[in-house]
Amino acid sequence: MVSYGVPVSSLTDFWSRLVGVQSGPPRLVVLGAAVLAIAVIGPYRSWRITRHVVTIAHEGGHALTALLTGRRLSAIRLHSDTSGLTVSAGRPTGPGMVATGMAGYLTPSLLGLLGAVLLTSGRITVMLWTALAVLAAMLVMIRNVFGVVSVVTTIGIVFAVSWFTSAQVQAAFAYFAVWLLLAGGVRPIVELQRMRRRGQAPYSDADQLARLTRLPGLFWVAFFWVGTVAALLVGGWLLLRPMTEGWA
pLDDT at 242 over 60: no
For the segment 98-147, what is each residue's pLDDT rounded down to a tens digit?
999 999 999 999 999 999 999 999 999 999 999 999 999 999 999 999 99
Give the mean model confidence (pLDDT) for residues 16-45: 87
185 lies in a domain? yes
Which pLDDT does position 21 carry in this prediction? 75
Question: What is the average pLDDT value for the chain, to the nearest integer?
Answer: 91
246 lies in a domain? no
177 lies in a domain? yes
Burial class (CB in 10 A: 0-12, 13-18, 19+), 203: exposed
What DSSP string runs through 211-224? HHHSS-HHHHHHHH
Give the mean model confidence (pLDDT) for residues 190-201: 95
Question: What is each CA distance from 27 to 165, 197, 242, 244, 245, in whole angstroms?
Answer: 20, 41, 8, 11, 12
56 lies in a domain? no
CB 172 within 8 A of CB 119: no
76 lies in a domain? no
248 lies in a domain? no
Rounded Cα distance, 137 and 155, in Å: 11
190 lies in a domain? yes
Which pLDDT does position 105 carry in this prediction? 98
Domain span at residue 207 reads 25-43+106-240
pLDDT at 158 over 60: yes
E strands present in the chain: 72-78, 84-89
211 lies in a domain? yes
Rounded Cα distance, 57 and 60, in Å: 5
* pTM metric for this prediction: 0.90
Rounded Cα distance, 30 and 7, in Å: 37
For the segment 37-81, what is each residue's pLDDT rounded down to a tens digit?
999 999 999 999 999 999 999 999 999 999 999 999 999 999 999
